[in-house]
């Protein structure tokens, strides 16, 4: 089974900071990776799919890159509404839809 | 406009069976290339994918929970039902259903608001 790890697990940042979160897969998954944002008490929202495609309506300060086993989510200039937990998800191999352990971005 | 909404009991006793219903609109689950999944978020933990059903009725389950889960769809009612047997306090979580289409992967692009489930005697 494919395992996902995320680093860091917790990130303290300030408004305006550039933030990078890394997701690593235990096996190559091509570009079958998505990123989600979840705020407390809310459903997750899709940010990025196919590793680097921005979901419609998502601000352009969010970007994704990577292929194979290493992927990154970058927020170019952190905004107050971006403080949340971020999850990666692999969509390549069974068990499909595996999520990473999450990265909490806090002040 | 695609919407999904979860419904079911908020409290179940240990060993009972949980049945959750996802009622959706804005798409049909009778066509290929579309699917609905169930995901949960236990308090203080990470998202966990549970089950998925494709428009062609193919089904997938989390290996760790496969023996306890069943997913089905009723296309006439626009509903997807998840059952989980032998509930335990560790199954306490908010349960979400979500829509996906294949576009560079079966990512979840629309989510329900979630429904909280507590397992306690």
> Cα–Cα distance between A64 and A94 in angstroms, integer?
23
Interchain contact B38–A (C-beta under 8 A):
no
Give the per-residue pLDDT at A96.
81
Residue contact B111–A43, C-beta within 8 A: yes
Pick B49's closest partner by Cβ from A31, A55, A97: A97
Q: Can you tell me whether residue B90 is helix, strand or coil? A: helix
pLDDT band at A94 (very low <50, low <70, confident <90, very high): confident
Residue A107 pLDDT exceeds 90: no
Q: H or E stretch including A4?
A: strand A4-7
Q: Give the pLDDT band (50/70/90) at residue A93.
A: confident
B4-28 burial string, b = 16+ CB within 10 Å, else e?
A: bebebeeebeeeeebebbbbbeebe
Closest residue to A91, CB basis, from B46, B47, B105: B105
Is the CB of B108 less than 8 angstroms away from the CB of A46? yes
Taking all residues of chain B, what is their mean pLDDT, rounded to a whole number? 95
Number of C-alpha atoms within 13 angstroms, CB side, residue A10?
3
Query: Do the Cβ atoms of B60 and A53 come within 8 Å?
Result: no
Indicate the burial class of A100 (C-beta count within 10 angstroms; 0-12, 13-18, 19 or more): buried
Contact yes or no for B104 and A49 at CB 8 A: yes
Residue A1 pLDDT = 84
**Tens digit of each residue's pLDDT (9 = 90 or more) over B35-79:** 999 999 999 999 999 999 999 999 999 999 999 999 999 999 999
Contact B103 A98 (CB under 8 A): no
Q: Does residue B87 contact residue B14 with C-beta atoms inside 8 Å?
A: yes
Question: Helix (H, G, I), strand (E, B), or coil: what is residue B67?
Answer: helix
- Residue B92: how many CA atoms within 13 Å on its side-chain side? 11
* Closest residue in chain A to residue B4, using alpha carbons only: A43
What's the whole-number mean pLDDT along residues A44-67?
Answer: 97
- Tens of pLDDT, residue by residue over A5-52, are 999 999 999 999 999 999 999 999 999 999 999 999 999 999 999 999
Nearest-10 Cα torsion for B1, A96, A76, A14? 100
Query: Is there a contact between B119 and B13 (Cβ–Cβ < 8 Å)?
Result: yes
Residues A43, B60: C-beta atoms closer than 8 Å? no
Give the pLDDT confidence score for residue A60 in this predicted structure: 97
pLDDT the model gives residue B31: 83
Q: B67 CA to chain A: closest CA distance, Å?
A: 15
């Amino acid at each position: 089974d494919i395992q996902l790890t995320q680093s860091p697990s917790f990130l303290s940042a300030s408004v305006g900071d550039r933030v990078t979160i890394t997701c690593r897969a235990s096996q190559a998954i091509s570009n079958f990776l998505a990123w989600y944002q979840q705020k407390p008490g809310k459903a997750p929202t899709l940010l990025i799919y196919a590793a680097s495609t921005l979901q419609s309506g998502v601000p352009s300060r969010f970007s994704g890159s990577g292929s194979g086993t290493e992927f990154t989510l970058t927020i170019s200039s952190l905004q107050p509404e971006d403080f949340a937990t971020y999850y990666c998800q692999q969509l390549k191999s069974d068990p499909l839809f595996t999520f990473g352990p999450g990265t909490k971005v806090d002040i | 406009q695609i919407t999904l909404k979860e419904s079911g009991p908020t409290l179940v006793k240990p060993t009972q069976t949980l049945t959750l219903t996802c009622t959706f609109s804005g798409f049909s689950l009778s066509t290929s290339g579309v699917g609905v999944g169930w995901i949960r978020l236990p308090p203080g933990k990470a998202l966990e994918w549970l089950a998925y059903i494709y428009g062609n009725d193919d089904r997938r389950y989390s290996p760790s929970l496969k023996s306890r889960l069943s997913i089905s769809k009723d296309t006439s009612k626009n509903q997807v039902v998840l059952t989980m047997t032998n509930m335990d306090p560790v199954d306490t979580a908010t349960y979400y259903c979500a829509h996906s289409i294949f576009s560079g992967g079966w990512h979840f692009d629309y989510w329900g608001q979630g429904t909280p489930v507590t397992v306690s005697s």
